[in-house]
Amino acid sequence: MPKSRQPDSPFPAQQLISREENVPSVPHVSLTTAYPLVFVIEESESPGEEKSALYRLIVSYVVRRMLCGLTAKNYNKIFLRLADQLRNRVSLAAGEMGFAALAGDTARFPDDNEFRDAICSRRQYGNIQQHRLRHILCQLELEMRDKFDEGISLPDNLTIEHVLPEAWAQYWKLPDGTQAAADFLTGMSESQLKLIGEREALKHTLGNLTLLTDSRNPSLGNLDFAAKQQKLRESLLKLNREIAEMPNWTEARIRTRATRLSDLAIKVGLRLLLQIRLWPLRANTADSLLGFREAPRHDPMTRRNVSRDILPHAFGLDVYGKH
């Protein structure tokens, strides 16, 4: 079982306080299945920093599983079980132990290696709703910035752009210098088919995705990298300027960038996953804000003075359905 605060733990607890960032808002979908655990934490006498770290741990769990393509169908049972375990001892150490004890594909907390592999090799575009994927890229953009970029806000109209286009055959030659057939099959040799397969497997991974304003995105279309490069140089986003500095955009570049993004995501740890907002609720408004018609029988604290948006409205997470 991983120990608290070890570098290789899936629970990087050193970042306890989230910083304020100018992140575009996205639709708020509640993580309602986590509320029993949230209420136990909020009603405890644990220090504020411990509570913040525990809230981040909850979101880290959900987001890591989302990026790793793991199911969300058992979250209701999992969070109820964790709430029961922490009810008499609310602490970061107890929370980490509870999550670390979860086993099996339906429950486990993905460790750093699995998280990194998912970012580097798993298809994310099309598997995760775009507003969530967009927010992940926004957070990575903010974390990449230095003091010279801090004054630049993120536009609300950013959309996801594939650097290597989804339809790349016309303008993007294969690594061996040959042209792929439009249908990826006709006249292709075995070696060409292998190169096509490798490219197709990478084009929807995080390493090939960036952000552009919706007015600039369509203009790039399926153009070759030289044409895209100039447009990316004009962008104010660090994500794009780093890509524009590359002499070309190949499968190897996509893999290298994915590794960098995964290392960045792990380095910033839970700060990437949560912007904490604590807004007290009055008892007579709790039902409508939390989406309950009546207080759940399993947790009488629902109607007390609890916190809304402890879990990230910015991430738009919905643990009832698909990621």
21 within domain boundaries? no
216 within domain boundaries? yes
Q: Which amino acid is at 111?
A: D
Given a cut of 90, whether residue 180 has pLDDT beyond it is: yes
67 within domain boundaries? no
Res 7: pLDDT = 33
Per-residue pLDDT tens over the stretch 113-126: 999 999 999 999 99
Res 59: pLDDT = 79
Given a cut of 70, whether residue 249 has pLDDT beyond it is: yes
Res 6: pLDDT = 35
Average pLDDT over every residue of 226-245: 91
Given a cut of 80, whether residue 132 has pLDDT beyond it is: yes
Average pLDDT over every residue of 169-174: 94
Given a cut of 70, whether residue 282 has pLDDT beyond it is: no
310 within domain boundaries? no
Average pLDDT over every residue of 203-220: 85
111 within domain boundaries? no
Q: Which is more confidently placed, 232 or 298?
A: 232
The total domain count for the chain is 1
79 within domain boundaries? no
Give the domain range for residue 176.
134-262
How much is the pTM?
A: 0.73
Per-residue pLDDT tens over the stretch 306-323: 334 444 433 334 433 345
Q: Which is more confidently placed, 140 or 195?
A: 195
Per-residue pLDDT tens over the stretch 16-33: 323 333 333 333 334 678
194 within domain boundaries? yes
203 within domain boundaries? yes
